[in-house]
Chain A
Amino acid sequence: MFSFCTDPATLSDLPWMACYLTTGKHLNFYWAFGTVLLLLAITAPAALAFGFAGASAARSRFAPLSLFGKTYIAIVRGVPDIAFFLFFVIALDQGLEFLKHQWVCPDWDQPIRQGNDFIVCQAAKVPLGNSPQWVHKTYSFFVAAFTFAIVFGAFAANVIYGAMRAVPRTQLETAEAYGMTHRQTFWRIVVPQMWVYALPGLSNLWMVLIKSTPLLFLLGVEDIVYWARELGGSKTPRFTDYPHGDWRMWYFLVLLVFYLAFTRVSEVVLDRIMARLTLGQATTGGDAQRKAVT
């Protein structure tokens, strides 16, 4: 990066460090922070949407839909994350390729499953085998985001399902007395009021989600923990211009600070949301707020 970095072995500590911390590998490490934040930014609302849809489905009076919602929640919550991640991503990828294969290569005469191998025609690969590497990376990123959304959506669905049932029955009765339909009661009474009951559970999920990003490498996305391990591992002078001993501790220390700071920021934000949601609610928190004002 800097002009004086051509021969790092001759440099003193400070410029050496400056060169070391700006190698291409380190830039990848810094990018990975962006990847993780982007993943969270996409996954959190998506998981919330899945959760809301799952909870609404589970609550539905239409039996098949309710069964579907409950099955989704039960299965995803029941299967270990790692198993689900490995299985689902490969299955999703193969499913997409299978469908595309039926579409673009109808004349294909060979079996798709040959022993252990999964073979579709070249044109049906997702993404195409000759696409540039960034397409592959983007694809696996979105597959990862989708998988995270499904897994965390199931947990969120259970939380929201419980929260919907926690809305006081009297509120619903009043709504019925006013002549609201089932749908109106749901959207005007249940949904606005349930968030205050859902938030503690959802905030827990958010905290778990922040810390589960190392699962990304399992899905082929290089995250910060992967790079910290790779960069921190001891390096011999034969294979790098910047040999050093086992520095994993320092890299993980950086991650520790990052995660702690991120958690702190999340707590502050969640507290504010909680205060906003409690306003005027018939809960202990809402009551306390009312008394503090008067």
Chain B
Amino acid sequence: MKTLILTTAALALSAGLALAQSQTIRMGTEGAYPPYNFLNDKGEVDGFERELGDELCKRAELTCEWVTTDWDGIIPNLVSGNYDTIIAGMSITAERDEVIDFTQNYIPPAASAYVGLSADIDVKTAVVSAQASTIQAGHVAESGASLLEFATPEETVASVRNGEADAVFADKDYLIPIVEESGGELMFVGEDVQLGGGVGMGLRESDTELRDKFDAAIQSMKDDGTLNTLITKWFGEQADTF
């Protein structure tokens, strides 16, 4: 009888453990912000954050699954539990930190830059496009320029090409490939601006256990230098590393 009770207890315990282990961490991203995250030709999430996220999950011994969502709804969907992390090139800011929690940054505070069709644009008075609900949009609104907001990063650049806006303001790492491939059509304008506290993973404030796991995994990638290798691979030699 005693063994029976013990075995059931052991079974119940292991079942509980199995349940805890089988939890899948759903990683929410935008899938429209190369090289941070984008959909490749197969329609899968790809990019710096895909590679980073997969490595972090491996180190933290978690099973992860990728989910794409609209940028505007990315925080509400996290707090209501539709996925468990945001890994979408999201800069750590005080406003966001009030609503969600961040891990330590996995990209150092990076420059944002203006890109326009000619070099003589005054970015303080021009019409500047930026993606809605980003720190860049906030900065443009404060700078005195007329802000033109778009839902996706792609549209912000397209608006400069078709003359709707004089310049676009975005993460420099996002703009570098675009300027390079444009064949001289687009160029950087004005000076770079340092915004935010780097890019980190967003998690629910109550999810401290998961945050600690990812925090530790990011730290271990910083310590052994793999994070720097990854940054250089996706953002080029000139990118800031740790």
Question: What is the bound-complex CA distance between A90 and B77, given in angstroms?
Answer: 8
Contact call A238/B76, Cβ cutoff below 8 A:
no
| 8 Å CB interface, B131-172 against A | 152, 154-155, 157-158, 161
Q: Which residues of A contact B223 (CB under 8 A)?
A: none
* Contact assessment for A24 and B73 in the assembled complex, using a CB-CB cutoff below 8 Å: no
Chain A residues with CB below 8 A from B100, complex form: 116
Whether B161 and A114, one on each chain, are in contact in the complex, defined by CB atoms closer than 8 angstroms, is: no
Please tell me if A36 contacts chain B, counting CB pairs below 8 Å: no
Q: What residues on A are CB-neighbors of B22 within 8 Å?
A: 130
Given known contacts A116-B79, A116-B205, A117-B205, is B177 in contact with A230 (CB within 8 Å)? Answer: no
Q: Which of B62-70, B85-93, B108-116 contacts A (4 or more CB under 8 A)?
A: B62-70
A241 to B207, CA, bound (A): 39
List of A residues within 8 angstroms of B207 by Cβ: 117
Residues of B203-239 at the interface with A, using a CB-CB cut-off of 8 Å, are 204-207
Bound together, the chains give a CA A97 to CA B81 distance in angstroms of: 10
Interface 0/1 of B25-65, CB less than 8 Å to A? 11000011011001111111011000000000000000101
- B73 near A130: Cβ-Cβ < 8 Å: no
Question: B82 an interface residue at 8 Å Cβ cutoff?
Answer: yes
- Would you call B82 and A246 a contact (CB within 8 A)? no
Whether A117 and B204, one on each chain, are in contact in the complex, defined by CB atoms closer than 8 angstroms, is: yes
The chain B residue with its CB closest to the CB of A133 is: B65
Nearest residue (CB) in A for B79 is A116
- Which A residues lie within 8 Å of B46 (CB)? 239
Tally chain B residues at the interface, Cβ within 8 Å.
50
Chain B CB count within 10 A is highest, among A90, A93, A129, A246, for A129
Q: Judging by beta carbons under 8 Å apart, are A24 and B42 in contact?
A: yes
8 Å CB contact of B81 from A25, A120, A229? A120
* Bound: A238/B23 CA distance, A: 35
A258 at the interface (CB under 8 A from B): no
Asked if B178 CB lies within 8 Å of chain A CBs, one says: yes
Main secondary structure of the interface of B (DSSP, over half): mixed
Is B13 on the interface with A (CB-CB < 8 A)? no
| A228, chain B: closest CB distance, angstroms | 12
Among A23, A90, A129, A217, point to the contact of B23 (Cβ < 8 A): A129
Instruction: Give A5's nearest chain B residue, CB to CB.
Output: B41
Q: How far is the CA of A122 from the CA of B23 in the complex (A)?
A: 8
Kindly state whether residue B19 has any CB partner on chain A within 8 Å: yes
Is B158 in contact with A233, judged by CB distance below 8 angstroms? yes
A25 closest partner in B (C-beta):
B43
Taken residue by residue from 161 to 195, chain B's Cβ proximity to chain A (1 for < 8 Å, 0 otherwise) reads as: 10000000000000001101100000000000000
B80 at interface, CB cutoff 8 A: yes
Q: Knowing A94-B80, A117-B204 are in contact, say whether A230-B32 is a contact too (CB < 8 A).
A: yes
How close is A276's CB to chain B, nearest CB, in angstroms?
42
In the complex, the answer to whether A220 meets B39 with C-beta atoms within 8 Å is: no
Closest B residue, CB atoms, query A8: B41
B40 touches A114 (CB 8 A): no
Instruction: Flag B107-131 by CB within 8 Å of A: 1 or 0 each.
Output: 0000000000000000000000000
Assembled-state Cα–Cα distance A118/B38 (Å):
28
Q: Chain A residues near B68 (CB, 8 Å)?
A: 222
In the bound assembly, the distance between CA atoms of A116 and B95 in angstroms comes to 14
CB distance from A241 to the nearest CB of B (A): 6
Chain B CB within 8 A of A125 CB: yes
Chain A, residue nearest B66 (CB): A133
B99 at the interface (CB under 8 A from A): yes
B84 close to A129 (CB less than 8 A): yes
- Cβ of B8 under 8 Å from chain A: no
Contact indicator B35/A239 (Cβ below 8 Å): yes
Given contacts A93-B80, A129-B24, contact A23 B205 (CB under 8 A): no
A interface with B by C-beta (< 8 Å): 23-25, 27-28, 86, 90, 93-94, 97, 114-120, 122-123, 125, 129-130, 133, 136, 217-218, 220, 222, 229-230, 233-234, 236-243, 246, 248
- Contacts A24-B42, A129-B25, A220-B82 supplied; 6 other A-B pairs, CB < 8 Å: A23-B42, A25-B41, A27-B43, A117-B207, A236-B34, A236-B180
